[in-house]
Amino acid sequence: MLKQIFTVVMTLICMLSIIACQPSLSASTSGRVDAEDYDAFWIWGNISSAPYLKAAKEIYVLQGEIRLDSQTHHSKLIPQGVSVLTIPQQKVWLVFRNYHLDWQGQELTQILNRIQQWEKKGNHLQGILIDFDAKTQNLHAYALFLAQLRQQLPAKYKLSITGLMDWSNMQDAKTLLLFRNNINEMIIQTYQGSTTIPNYEAYLHKISKLKLPYKIGVVQRGEWNPVLNFSADPNFKGYVVFLLRNPSTP
């Protein structure tokens, strides 16, 4: 009898250990995205503090956008988002919204300077996220850009990107290989603005075929089918919630 009890206890301990090492795969069960059910968030602006934000494990923080000046055609990084925070208990990604692929050299230097500012505050920087809406037909050019960025980015920093749902139609083997070799994760955006994109379920079911490490980006208070479950897919790494400034509005 004691042997059986010991076996059961050890089994439970092993199961709890495995669960503790897993990324958060939680999702809301109410048909709407409730931020309290998640532990990873995008912060695009000044979001009021909330209990779920303080308990977050991972934060993606907007820090700027990279554009081409319409007159000089020079690329410039325009600072945006919140100032440097002190949140050593959370994993931090710095997000840069990108509008072109013709970087001219100083952009990464500015990004690395910003990373150092966050690190000096004792934060645990995971890396950077490039938010770029590449059209499916232009994905090979984007993949080449990311390969060059990965080569220039210090190895200790990870490279994350956002992805559009129609990227699930990507079929070019060379393009896919470039993505697999150079990014650490892709966050598929299931929303536009504050609204969930119609037919999102059909797109998401095709993402696993890409064999890329991915997370699913959802919008706070947006629609979500609680029946969806991606935990069996080894490439699925969890959810990230885009926080709204006025989350009380559906």
How far apart are alpha carbons 119 and 74 in whole angstroms?
A: 29
- Domain presence at residue 103: yes
Compute how many other C-beta atoms are within 10 angstroms of the C-beta atom of residue 7: 10
According to DSSP, the β-strands at 58-68 and 75-79 are: antiparallel
- CATH number of the domain to which 147 belongs: 3.20.20.80
- Domain presence at residue 5: no
Gap between the terminal Cα atoms of the chain: 55
Tens digit of pLDDT at every position of the chain (250 positions): 544 434 433 444 343 333 333 445 566 666 999 999 999 999 987 766 677 888 899 999 999 999 998 888 899 999 999 899 999 999 999 999 999 999 998 999 999 999 999 999 999 999 999 999 999 899 999 999 999 999 999 999 999 999 999 999 998 999 999 999 999 999 999 999 999 999 999 999 999 899 999 999 999 999 999 999 999 999 999 999 999 876 554 4
**pTM, entire model:** 0.86
- Domain presence at residue 12: no
What is the pLDDT, as a whole number, of residue 24? 53
Where are the alpha helices (H) located in 44-138, listed in sequence order?
Answer: 51-54, 106-120
What is the pLDDT, as a whole number, of residue 19? 34
Q: Which residues contact 127 (CB under 8 A, 6 or more apart)?
A: 93, 94, 153, 157, 158, 159, 160, 184
According to DSSP, the β-strands at 185-189 and 91-98 are: unpaired
Domain range enclosing 102: 27-242
- Domain presence at residue 15: no
- Domain presence at residue 248: no
User: What letter would DSSP give residue 157?
Assistant: S
- Domain presence at residue 4: no
What is the pLDDT, as a whole number, of residue 129? 98
* Domain total in the chain: 1
- Domain presence at residue 99: yes
User: Which helix (H) or strand (E) covers residue 150, if one does?
Assistant: helix 139-152
User: What letter would DSSP give residue 171?
Assistant: -
The angle at the Cα of 156, spanning 178 to 116, to the nearest 5 degrees, equals: 120
According to DSSP, the β-strands at 191-192 and 195-196 are: antiparallel
- Domain presence at residue 13: no
CB-hemisphere CA count at 13 Å for 96?
23
